[in-house]
Structure formats: C-alpha cells, structure tokens
Amino acid sequence: MSYRMDSDIFLPYGYLVPQARANALSKSSRSTRPRDQFIAWVISNWSAAHARVTFYHKLRRFVRIDVFGGAGHPLPRGNGTVVRLLKGYMFYLALENSQHTDYITEKLWNALMAGAVPVVLGPSRRNYERFLPPEAFIHVDDFPTVKKLAQYLVKLWRDPIRMRQHLDWRGGYSLHQPKFWDEHYCTACRA
C-alpha cells in the first residue's frame, strides 16, 4: 500500500474523475473571477534542508507570498480550513517535502478543490500529467529561472483571459479526495 501507482495497492491522496462519470468540480473551484489574494503557502514541516524552503526563499524575492501553518500565520481552526483559506488566493505553492515518483499529496488536491492554481515542486511534469491535465498546474521546472516563473504568475494575475487557460479544464472533472484511513482500509480489503 502506497502513493506509488506501481504498488500492489495504490492509495492516492486524490484523483480526478471525468465529468461523464461524476459532477464537475464545484463552481467556486472553476471560477475565473479575480481573487483578492495572490499566492499562499501552508507549511508545517519547515526544514532549511528541503528543496521547497530553498525555492520559497528564491521566489519571495520577486513576489509576495502569504505563509500559513507552523512556519507562518496561524491557520483558522475547523474542518476544511486550508481549502477555505485558499479560496481567496489565485495561486497556491504545492511544494512537496520530497521529490519522488508519484509523491503528490493533499497540497495539490487542496489547491484544486479551492479553485487556486497549484504551483508545484515535486516529481516531474510528466509524472503530474499522469494524474492531471497539463494546464491544471504550473510546474516550477517549466521556467529557466525563479524570476521567470514569478513574472509569469504576475502576468496571469493581471490578465484574467490568460488565466482561464489554467481554469477551463475544471468543467470536465470532479475531484475525489479519499477519506484517510476509512476509504483506504476498504481499498485494501477489496484488493
């Protein structure tokens, strides 16, 4: 049992279901309206040795990033807190603490549920595309420098029509986030 697709029992943190088999993502997650806030990052496991912390320090030189969790502003209390918080943001830094094949955690899925565009650091773009349409996320490796990524994010922020390219795909999918561990136990029993 693991997050790896090649494991005997694949237990993803989330997955998309084509619209023909389910309701499309909620209206708020498909919204192209300008959001009040630019970029958010929720992090509890802060380690200077992690690539994501190094990346954050580089990116914040060019754009403002609101940081929440153990290493930033406290999160409001309650169920679904991260998703509610992210509904006010255009982008979310879905930066994994490890870069391993298929290691795509709730960070990405929470951003999608909230309607924010995830900026991802984790496995390769190709690996993410096994789970998502290519326009569903912005991969940090798509840019030669962090500065170029920052410029692209600012350009999208200012141009709602261009931003739509990262949002229009949502009408064709529903997002499912398994309830840990209840649903995973059932998956293991069925295997």
Confidence (pLDDT) at 85: 94
Confidence (pLDDT) at 173: 82
Confidence (pLDDT) at 22: 47
Domain count, the chain: 1
Q: Is 3 within a domain?
A: no
Q: Is 179 within a domain?
A: no
Confidence (pLDDT) at 181: 57
Confidence (pLDDT) at 81: 86
Q: Is 10 within a domain?
A: no
Q: Give the CATH number of the domain where residue 85 resides.
A: 3.40.50.11660
**pTM for the full predicted model:** 0.83
- Average confidence (pLDDT) per 10 residues, the chain, 191 residues: 58 67 51 78 91 97 95 82 93 91 84 94 93 95 98 95 89 72 55 54
Q: Is 20 within a domain?
A: no
Confidence (pLDDT) at 28: 47
Q: Is 65 within a domain?
A: yes
Q: Is 158 within a domain?
A: yes
Q: Is 43 within a domain?
A: yes
* Nearest alpha carbon to residue 35 among 190, 150, 166, 173: 166
Confidence (pLDDT) at 87: 94
Q: Is 1 within a domain?
A: no
Structural domain harbouring 138 = 30-169
